[in-house]
Amino acid sequence: MKNKVILFGKEQDNIFELVQKYGFKIVKKNPDFIIIFGGDGTIIHSEVKYPGIPKIILKNSRICKLCSSLENSKVLEKIKLGKYKIEDYWKLTSRVKNKKFLSMNDVIVHNGDPRHAIRYKFTINGKQTSHEIIGDGVVIATPLGSTGYYRSITDSFFEVGIGLAFNNSTERSDHMILKEDSKIELEITRGPAVVFTDNHNDKVVLEMGNKILIEKSTKVARIVKV
C-alpha cells in the first residue's frame, strides 16, 4: 500500500491531523505522493521542487483548476480506498544561456524595462517568421497554462497544442496555436528582455542576439484524480 506522503504548502500544518486520520504516513523523503494544500501557484511550485512525483491536491484556495469538487476528507478517503487515477500533464522544456527549465504552465518572455518595448522574431520548426514582432513580450503556454496569463491576454484558452500569446504587441492577432510537437526558437533583436518559467526562482536576462529554445518535454507532471 502506497501511503508515504510529503505535505506541501504554506499552511500545511492545518491538514496534518486530517492526513494522519486517513492512515497516511508523513515523511521527509522518498514519498509515494506529495499532498498539496493550496491552489494553482502552490501546485506549480510543488512540481518545481518534486518533479514527477504524483500530487494529491487538497483545496485551500478559490483559484485551483486541478482541485476536486469534493471535500478534502472525501478526496483522502477515496485515495486510501484506491479509488483514484493518475493523469499526466506534459511540460515545456526551455533552454536559454546554458540553462534548462521545465514548465507545467508557461514560459514568459517580458520586456526588462517597462518603458520600452522589446523586439523579437521566431523560428518555428526551422522556418523563420517573415517579420519582427514589437511589444511587451510573449507567453508560450501548455493547455494547462492557457487558463492563466495566456487567457488574460487573449481572452481564450485551448486544449491541444502550444499557445503563443503576444503581450501588447503590434501583431494583428494576439495569439497563435501550434502543434504539440513544434520546436520554437525566439531571438531577441532589441532588449533587454527577462525570461520567467512557472515558479522557478531563477530568471534570465536576454540582450540583443540571445535566443531561447522551447519544445514539448518528455517529462510530465502527475496529478492524482478521484
> Which residues, at least 6 apart from 195, have a Cβ–Cβ distance to it below 8 Å?
94, 96, 107, 108, 109, 110, 203, 204, 205, 206, 212
- 40, 136, 155, 202: which is the annotated catalytic residue? 40
Which set of grid coordinates corresponds to residue 170? Answer: 503590434
Tell me, yes or no, if 40 is annotated catalytic. yes
Q: Which residues pair with 31 in a beta bridge?
A: none
Q: What span, in angstroms and rounded, lies between the C-alpha atoms of 76 and 99?
A: 38
Pairing of strands 33-38, 4-8: parallel
* Residues tagged active-site: 40
